Amino acid sequence: MKCPKCQRPVDHEAESCYSCGYSELEAAERYGANHVQLSRVHDAAACLRKQERDDLAEALDHLEMKFPQMLFCAYLGSLPPGVSMSELGFWLLNHGQVKGAEYARPNENAILLILDMNSKQIGVSLGYFAESLITEEDAYRALMHARPNLINAEFGEALERIFLRLSRVLRKKGRKLQKVSHQELQDQSRALNRNVLDLPPHLRPELPEKQPEIELRSA
Amino acid sequence: MKTTFLILLIASLPMAGLCSKVEMPEWEEPKAAASYILGGGLWPNDILADTDTGEGEGESEGETSEEASEGALATTEEGNELEKNPVAKKENLEFFGPAEGTEALAVPPPTEVARTKATETSVDAVAEEPVVEALPPLTGELKDLYFAHAPVDFLVDRQRLLTEQKSNDIKRFLEFHSDESDYHIYVFVVGETQKIPDDINLQQLHREWFADSPTVVMFYYREAPDMTEFVYNDAISSALPSSVFERIRQNCLREGAATDLAPDQVEKMAIELSIQLYWLSRLEQHESKEAQALAAETPIHELPASADAPELLREYAPGIFLEESGRRFVSMILTALLIVLVVIIVAAIGWTAIWWRNRDRYSGKPLLFPTFQVVPRLGGEFSGGGFVSMSFELHDPTR
């Protein structure tokens, strides 16, 4: 795992980044501690046509039927300079509430696509459960699969292809998990959550002095 | 009183019957009957004159119809007299032909006198009999037409004894045969009463004309196929036993005897000769050692009829067309099956590709993942910041 801010490796149980001390508190300080409501496909940049929105919604319906536990959502916006997509993804998954998502689809099962129209970048933010199913390599391959559509400004079709590609990864992973026993599954979970960096627990850094202002602003 | 009156009345009845007279129809005038024309003028005057010959004589004499019947009766009596005395009959008949004893007497020329009913029936009887033209002998110019020069066409019918359509068919068949076979066939058609001149030696003529190429000359006599003569090259005649040629001749004569008309006979005999010559060539090939090896390599069925074979040959030898048509039919079926197979394979590949591409769209059985406990990091409740990004800028300096 990497720190959303400095992109350096972060241990699973780290309360904050070893390098830069980044944590959810810093994200809340910057983007707000409140919860925000999102659409399943939140087109803040208004770059999707109706036909594309309909097609994408239909594809997401199929995917939700196929994977009842998973949450598929997307955020399309024109991010201002200085806003990191990884930080935004980290904050949205922890503070966002997708409309229509049942309790069976918590944000830790979410696959959030973030499309920045200014920097021409696209990224995938994964919840805890989703990142245990989808590796970074699979996610990157899915993004590359849709690159031609993104270059041709076919954003709706690009998002659909990415989701479909990721659903294929999920299907393979699901078939593998169905074959393993409960004990093996627990072993895998432990291996996944073990201390990668083998470092002592990193304590939460102290909040800066202007913390009360942030809380007031977010309130 | 009453009795006396009754007697007088009965006695007067026969007197009244004697005095009465029956009125009969009659012409207004005695000669008015001559003014009515029989048939109302519909018939030609000549016919009326012929039919009224007896009556005309009666009119000229000014006799009535009763007199005319008497005249007719007299005529029959005269006829009986002629039958009794044929010499008198000959003297009474008016004949304008040549004198008796000349050749032309056999066929008297038509005259006006011969228009009587008796002579008309005799003329009809002559007309129904087939007219046989006496063909001139093969001498002089006609002889030169046949034998002066080597023939150009395969059918030599200088006197046009065959029909034009049949001649063209036979010519075309013989041309086709000469293209397909090693042997050429020349057919000479002469009349059944004509004879080949004594100074013409057919074998010698064959040597002069067809010494270079193997040729068979068939001399056909019209409607007399049994008189047909076949002349072969010396090399061919000496190479094979005479029984072979006799068998060919017998087969041709048998085919010719199947019909009565000369054109059909020539056609059938030519076709049979063509078939026989094919087997003759096969026999010759089999005789030579080199040809034996060649024949062993090439099967018989490699020689189907070509596409331009005339329909005449199809009628008489349909067997050689069966293999070609069957092969063509089989090839057509195979081609159609191949096309259908290719279409099915292409369709299956296309369908598989479409299914493979869209297989993620099809909703199948829901897939449930086993839940396991995850440890939060960086203080995040739902996400620990797992993120992968990519730029789709064309001129991205970072890529």
Q: Residue A9's domain spans which residues?
A: 1-31
Query: Hey, are the CB atoms on A151 and B362 less than 8 Å from each other?
Result: no
- What residue ranges do the domains of chain B occupy? 32-128, 143-316, 319-350
ipTM: 0.80
**Would you place residue B51 in the very low, low, confident or very high pLDDT band (cuts 50, 70, 90)?**
very low
Tell me the Ramachandran region of residue B82: left when phi exceeds 0, alpha when psi lies from -120 to 50, beta otherwise: alpha
Picking from A37-46, A55-64, A75-84, B312-321, which range would have the lowest pLDDT averaged per residue? B312-321
Q: Which residues of B touch A189 (CB under 8 A)?
A: 372-374
Q: Which residues are CB-neighbours of B230 under 8 A, at least 6 positions away?
A: B216, B217, B218, B219, B245, B248, B249, B252, B273
Is A13 an interface residue toward B (CB < 8 Å)? yes
Task: Please report the pLDDT score of residue A122 as a whole number.
Answer: 95
pLDDT digits (tens, 9 = 90+) for A133-145: 999 999 999 999 9
Give the CATH number of the domain where residue A158 resides: 3.10.310.50
Query: Are residue A6 and residue A84 in the same domain, yes or no?
Result: no
Class of domain B143-316: alpha beta
Burial of B338 (0-12, 13-18, 19+ CB in 10 A): exposed
CA distance B203 to B24: 93
Query: Are residue A8 and residue A81 in the same domain, yes or no?
Result: no
Residue in chain B lying closest to A195 (CA) = B375
Q: How far is A112 from chain B (nearest CA, A)?
A: 9
Picking from A132-141, B42-51, B93-102, B187-196, which range would have the lowest pLDDT averaged per residue? B93-102
Query: Are residue A19 and residue A51 in the same domain, yes or no?
Result: no
Query: Hey, are the CB atoms on B387 and A123 less than 8 Å from each other?
Result: yes
Q: Is B56 helix (H, G, I), strand (E, B) or coil?
A: helix
Residue among B355, B357, B368, B392 with most chain A CBs within 10 A, to mutate? B392
Point out which residues pair with A38 in neighbouring strands.
A98
Q: How far is CA A59 from CA A50, A122, A164, B120, B367, in A?
A: 14, 19, 8, 108, 16
Q: How far is CA B145 from CA A128, B38, B270, in A?
A: 115, 61, 22
**Which residue among A16, A93, A133 places its CB closest to the CB of B382?**
A93
Q: Which residues are CB-neighbours of A195 under 8 A, at least 6 positions away?
A: A11, A12, A13
Is A84 an interface residue toward B (CB < 8 Å)? no
Cα dihedral angle (B74, B32, B39, B76), rounded to 10 degrees? 0
Query: Are residue A104 and residue A161 in the same domain, yes or no?
Result: yes
Query: Are residue A40 and residue A121 in the same domain, yes or no?
Result: yes
CA distance A171 to B126: 110
Interface of A with B in 196-215 (CB under 8 A): 204
Query: Are residue A45 and residue A7 in the same domain, yes or no?
Result: no
Number of domains in chain A: 2
In a domain, A15, yes or no: yes
Q: Which residues are CB-neighbours of B368 under 8 A, at least 6 positions away?
A: A68, A69, A174
Query: Hey, are the CB atoms on B388 and A143 less than 8 Å from each other?
Result: yes
pLDDT digits (tens, 9 = 90+) for B338-360: 999 999 999 999 999 988 877 66
- What is the average pLDDT across B317-327? 63
pLDDT digits (tens, 9 = 90+) for A14-71: 888 888 888 888 888 888 888 888 889 999 999 999 999 999 999 999 888 889 889 9
Residue among B359, B377, B381, B398 with most chain A CBs within 10 A, to mutate? B377
Query: Are residue A147 and residue A168 in the same domain, yes or no?
Result: yes
